[in-house]
Amino acid sequence: MSEGKKRILNLYAGVGGNRKLWSDEYEVTAVEFEQYIADAYKELNPNDEVIVSDAHQYLIENFQKFDIIWSSPPCPSHSRASTSLSGWGVFRYPDMKLYEEIIFLKHFFKGKFVVENVIPYYETLVKPTIEIDRHLFWSNFPITPFNVERNYDVSRATKEVLAEHHGITLPEKTKDKRKLLRNCVTPSVGLHILNCAMGDFNKKFETQTLFGNEM
């Protein structure tokens, strides 16, 4: 582990919903495949190193450089929406990068990791650590329960509602705003999980109030 700032690798970073409430005491490297999404992330998180690349390949080539890894592989092929698409004659294989990364990190990474994805339409192939706010998380450290309050229907929420919920204002030029915001991990969840990882590093957990929720 590094002696100075903890180095965090944020894979499939999107616009950084999970990262929004992390402090600058961490050295964050974000990897995103789409240039326009990476540009939005950089504008929102100017102190982070942002790399436009294939996150799956970047992970296996660079994982040893980091203390903490957060990975959010693409979720559409695992989503329950896949069963709806089948009714229209659209079929697709589940993207196994999700499980490749979970298994790889579990056996070869010496730091702390968390892999996030949607609740799938099938029984998970690897048991998750916890379910929080419509997402499953796999980790090699304990994650305590956390409740997220929302007063809107996620499936119908406008980009304005989602932006307010996440506290994220995307750059005006950013396209696909609603899709990007829907894909965000709620920032308070991202902070809670990082705090759990750091609590495990430090062999203790600290009580902290987040948006009216107490750990």
Give the integer Cα–Cα distance in Å for 195 and 211.
Answer: 15
- Report the number of distinct structural domains present in the chain: 1
In a domain, 168, yes or no: no
For residue 81, give every residue at least 6 positions away whose Cβ sits within 8 Å of its Cβ, in sequence order, or none.
Answer: none
In a domain, 82, yes or no: yes
DSSP annotation of 198 reads H
In a domain, 176, yes or no: no
pLDDT in tens, 2-11: 468 999 999 9
Length of the chain: 215
In a domain, 25, yes or no: yes
In a domain, 28, yes or no: yes
Show the domain range for 59: 7-149+187-210
Give the integer Cα–Cα distance in Å for 54 and 141.
Answer: 26
In a domain, 156, yes or no: no
In a domain, 21, yes or no: yes
In a domain, 174, yes or no: no
Tell me the percentage of the chain whose pLDDT exceeds 70: 88
For the beta carbon of residue 2, count every other beta carbon within 10 angstroms. 11
Q: Which two tokens stand for residue 175?
A: 């396209």
Strands 130-132 and 135-139: antiparallel
pLDDT in tens, 58-108: 999 999 999 999 999 988 888 877 666 566 677 888 899 999 999 999 999
For residue 173, give every residue at least 6 positions away whose Cβ sits within 8 Å of its Cβ, in sequence order, or none.
Answer: none
- pLDDT grade, residue 131 (50/70/90)? very high
CATH of the domain at 33: 3.40.50.150
Q: What are phi and psi of 131, to 5 degrees?
A: -110, 130
